[in-house]
Amino acid sequence: MANTLLILPGDGIGPEVMAEVRKVIDWFGKKRGLVFDVSEDLVGGAAYDAHGTPLTDATMARAQEVDAVLLGAVGGPKWDSLPFEVKPERGLLRLRKEMDLYANLRPARCFDALADFSSLKREVVAGLDIMIVRELTGGVYFGEPRGIFREGNERVGINTQRYTESEIARVARSAFELARRRQNRVCSMEKANVMESGVLWREVVQQVHDAEYPDVELSDMYADAGAMQLTRWPKQFDVIVTDNLFGDLLSDLAAMLTGSLGMLPSASLGAPMGNGRPKALYEPVHGSAPDIAGQGRANPIACILSFGMALRYSFDQGTEADRLETAIEKVLASGARTADLMGPEGGTPLSTAQMGDAILKALDETL
């Protein structure tokens, strides 16, 4: 049965970087016999311009049917004045919500050729390869009550941190399963010292560990101490699992340890479908970068690495994912750079398409 993939290029630089991903997908079909049934549709501002909505019901239905969704980027100043409910970002949020993508995987890997781009010392970040698993559908961003209310003579803003045992348990399982594919270590981060939700989080993660994953090494850390340790010695971690708010903060912090936002992929995973594969959405961490859209200056590596994550987590092709990452590492080691990776020494950057071609050449050399 064919592997099915829905591609949603989106807005800004999304179509440009996704064009390079299509070339990589074609390479795996022709050179490795790994064939994908690929369909393409609109999301975000592009969908609004065509249909008056950032995500049509038909596209949403297709996303529920395929093995994986690969998204480029959404948004841009062109659509800033739209009503909140039809802004481009609502398309992405609808995908996450209706697919119930509760585990957000944010790897922070520092390619050796880019170690000097980090704000930390080379020896601290060289060889860094950690994974943050952020709970994506619960917590303070979704809890009720929420809103801005008037109390007496002033207004008060309210957001509620709320988690159920089942919400915590399922993201903990995701983290433990990932750890088994890596170094078999999980660090759970919360604020059990001051938050009841943190106490519950720690208790449930421990229960899941003891009952189902006793072979995985588990440690606990307060999230603020975790932030400090990430900047002190990030290589002490393997998999970090944490809630929606802390995961949002810690994953952005970890992202910058690697030196460039243009290098970072992500995956959002849900419950297994009938074929045993999780519902999944893969996307680069970077935004739509409207200031450089259409200029061929965007770095396609984060989007290509997002496809690499799809190979690993949706299609059980870990060896081919390794092949792709090795090719990218080789390209970077050769000195090839897009504009966002140019150091103070200057030089002529590769275009988006040239970087894609360089990766294809490096893939050929792996054969």
Residue 105 burial (10 A CB sphere; 0-12, 13-18, 19+): buried
Among residues 87, 248, 279, 330, the one annotated as catalytic is: 248
Among residues 87, 191, 279, 330, the one annotated as catalytic is: 191
Angle at the Cα of 360 (from 9 to 268), degrees rounded to 5?
Answer: 40
Residue 364 annotated as catalytic: no
Residue 210 annotated as catalytic: no
Among residues 49, 252, 322, 357, the one annotated as catalytic is: 252
Contact 170, 102 (CB under 8 A): yes
**What is the distance between the alpha carbons of residues 124 and 342, in angstroms, rounded to a whole number?**
21
Residue 252 annotated as catalytic: yes
Residue 366 burial (10 A CB sphere; 0-12, 13-18, 19+): middle
Among residues 224, 235, 322, 357, the one annotated as catalytic is: 224
Residue 129 annotated as catalytic: no
Residue 67 annotated as catalytic: no
In 3D, which of 45, 39, 12 has the Cα closest to residue 25?
39
In 3D, which of 27, 81, 65, 118 has the Cα closest to residue 279?
65
Active-site annotation, residues: 141, 191, 224, 248, 252
